[in-house]
Structure 1
């Protein structure tokens, strides 16, 4: 069995889709249990949203529990743009695993996310000049990958190209200008290394292990009653929701004044009731964020996630949904925590990163996840 630790829920789902694509059976869980019957086990954490101490504590615990299962190896799924506590998490996992070095390959050349001579580029522009998630890094961070994983790990980190001598210890960050480089790095892995990086690198590793099988694709029997939770702040994601709204589709935005009152439970309940009525009338409904008032509210992102999770739970108490579709890893994790869903079985990779799965606790409803920066596939985005 191959084990994977993901730092967010949509990343876990994307790994599950890649396992399916390559002919591997897969289970996604939010904690490590004793008995699994699968080729790939993915543990979905939420460490990207945690502080350093809490993230390291969770990675330590999950790694220790996974090692008790004696997996063939443990892959650390990171964000392809190196957001989150990359160095902090890898450092503690390296110590627990007893490995000498990390081979970190986060790039995804197929999406124009490349690393050349230690510089991260998106669409051929250095990442920090592209305004693409730049605000999610510490002030002063450059597009140099050694900066992006954390200043305190610079002395033990190296930007290496294929064919160059690999240091015996430390963080090895692979330059990856082309898709072919992904397979090249997969062929470099040995028992002294902890492999880590994006979904594309994991795909290359699986291809190396096993000849890629054509996934048996069953017809998509998409349920009638569907709730789309669009929690991403990514501008293209917000624009596609607005287009549905303008075309007459059912879009219910989070109430603008929801933070203007100390007790907003009544507003959440009214919003949930409106969503329920709209599902009964139109069947397919989107809930999303447009604009919010009361700018002086502390920790808006956490409050938004909590409200989305609360309203979804209230809706599911009154409506039997057949499809729940969630955009954004942090939003998804908050919702499944509120719903107390634990274990998931990916069934279909509808597009890169768009994964539809069964839920162990709710047999009649499918869950589909998508990262905020990815696009919805036409097969399910129809209004």
Structure 2
């Protein structure tokens, strides 16, 4: 068995979807399932949204439980642009595994995310000049790797795959093309903690599964008609797409301002909003819920509170409608939603595009499709 621990839900789903490319049996859960029979078992957490102390405790708990299962590899999935408590979590895992070093390859050249000369670039430009500089939780203000990681005198090294590696510490691997990821994979052994983004995970699977006969592909379940799209991202492309659909008369329902500014969500306005969404789903077989950026200006309500309110709405709609397909953008939003809806196990059935993964849930009547906010939706999914 291959095991993965991810610091957000969409990152976990992304790697679970990659497992489908190799015809692995895949299970994703919010807790370790010691009885799993999956070839690839992925643990999803919300560690990126938590204070560092809590994030470290979660990683320690899941690492201990996975080590007891003696997997062939534990891969630590990090954010590709190094948001979150990356160093603290890796150091905690190193102390449990007994390994002296970790190799972190977060670059993903296939998505335009490269590391060279100690700097991080997004499509050739320093990453701090991108929309990631406006991230509500981990705004990126520098493209220097050691500053992005908030390294403070710790043993952190930025290296090319061709260089001599130190015997201890955390090594950040530079990569400007996919072949660099493959080269890093060839240097990994069983005494190294392996971490990074989806490109490096793919390279590790190529190495581990080389020459093995793939299992028979399974049939992809047909997409069901009643769909609810949930947008929890701050990225402009998705917001602009929703505005266009709304302007064309599409079934879009923004969170009302009175709910955004209210302390409690169990108000008349909340119930009214849920009723509007249920009606849209019934009449159109699909609906979109989102938060208009204009409504959040000059308000003290935090991003976490808004995600909880959105999750509460979705849970209400699921109980009162025929929604069969949830399509969710944004890892923290997805986590809030599955937590309130008591969804705990997921079985990937289709990788619709890189990072866009459709999964059967532990509710047999519900599928969920998720993606990170900065990734692209596949053509046709948003046709209204």
With the shorter chain as reference, the TM-score category is over 0.9
Quote the offset at 1:320 in angstroms: 2.2
**Residue aligned with 2:364, SS:** strand
The yes-or-no answer on 1:347 pairing with 2:349 is: yes
Moved more, 142-151 or 79-88: 142-151
Question: In the aligned structure 2, how far is the partner of 1:106 from the partner of 1:378?
Answer: 27
Secondary structure of the 1:182 match is: helix
Pair 1:133–1:215, CA change in 2 (3 A)? farther
Contact kept, 8 Å, 1:128 with 1:134, in 2: the verdict is: no
Task: Give the total of aligned pairs.
Answer: 381
Question: Deviation at 1:297?
Answer: 4.4
Matched, 1:62 2:62: yes
- Report the counterpart of residue 194 of structure 2 in structure 1: 195
Matches within 5 A, 1:318-357: 318-357=320-359
- What is residue 259 of structure 1 aligned with on the other side? 260
Partner of 1:10: 10
Q: Spell out the pairing of 1:71-82 with structure 2 (5 A cutoff).
A: 71-82=71-82
Q: How many angstroms does 1:54 deviate by? A: 0.5
CA distance in 1, matches of 2:23, 2:261: 51
Q: Is the 8 A contact 2:230 2:290 kept in 1?
A: yes
- Using the TM superposition, give the Cα deviation of residue 248 of structure 1 relative to its aligned residue in structure 2, in angstroms: 2.4
SS at match of 1:257: helix
Alignment partners' CA distance in 2, 1:2 and 1:78: 16
1:216 CA displacement: 3.5
Match of 1:31 in 2: 31
Corresponding residue number in structure 1 for 2:281: 279
Checking the alignment, whether the CA contact within 8 Å between 1:324 and 1:365 is kept in structure 2 is yes
1:83–1:136 contact (8 Å) kept in structure 2: no
- Root-mean-square deviation (CA, aligned residues, Å) is 1.9
Task: Report the Cα distance in structure 2 between the residues aligned to 1:92 and 1:366, rounded to whole angstroms.
Answer: 34
2:22 counterpart residue number: 22
Q: Is the 8 A contact 2:260 2:306 kept in 1?
A: no
| Alpha-carbon displacement from aligned partner over 1:21-48 (angstroms, at most 9, x marks no partner) | 1221110010112200011110000000
Q: 1:6 to 1:130 in 2, by over 3 A?
A: same
136-145 or 217-226: which moved more?
136-145
Aligned to 1:156: 155
Structure 1 stretch displaced more, 338-347 or 141-150: 141-150
Q: d(CA) in 2 for partners of 1:137 and 1:332? A: 16
Structure 1's unaligned 5+ residue stretches are none
* Structure 1 position 67, deviation (Å): 0.8
**In 2, distance between residues paired with 1:108 and 1:221?**
31
342-351 or 299-308, which deviates more? 299-308
1:79 and 1:197 in contact (8 A); partners too: yes
1:289-300 equivalent positions in 2, closer than 5 A: 289-291=291-293, 293=295, 295=297, 297-300=299-302
- Which deviates more from structure 2 when the two are superposed, residues 119-128 or residues 47-56? 119-128
The 5-angstrom pairing of residues 1-383 of structure 1 reads 1-133=1-133, 135=135, 141-152=141-152, 154-211=153-210, 216=217, 218=219, 221-265=222-266, 266-291=268-293, 293=295, 295=297, 297-360=299-362, 362-383=363-384
Secondary structure in structure 2 of the residue aligned to 1:96:
helix
CA distance in 2, matches of 1:380, 1:294: 27
Which range moves more in the overlay, 228-237 or 154-163? 154-163
Q: Deviations over 1:75-132 (max 9, x none)?
A: 0000001011111111111111111111000011011110001110011111123343
Q: For the structure 1 residues 284 and 104, does the alpha-carbon distance in structure 2 shift closer, same or farther, using more than 3 Å as the test?
A: same
So what's the TM-score if we normalise by structure 1?
A: 0.95
Contact 1:21 1:214 in 2 (8 A): no
CA distance 1:88–1:219, shift in 2 (3 Å): closer
Q: Secondary structure at the match of 2:230?
A: strand
In the TM superposition, residue 299 of structure 1 has moved relative to its aligned partner by: 4.9
Deviations 1:177-215 (A, max 9, x none): 111101011111012210000011001100111148598
Kept in 2: contact 1:127–1:134 (CA 8 A):
no
**Contact 1:21–1:215 (Cα < 8 Å) also in 2:** no
**2: CA distance between counterparts of 1:67 and 1:27?**
17
Residues 185/294 of structure 1: CA separation in 2 closer, same or farther (3 Å cut): closer
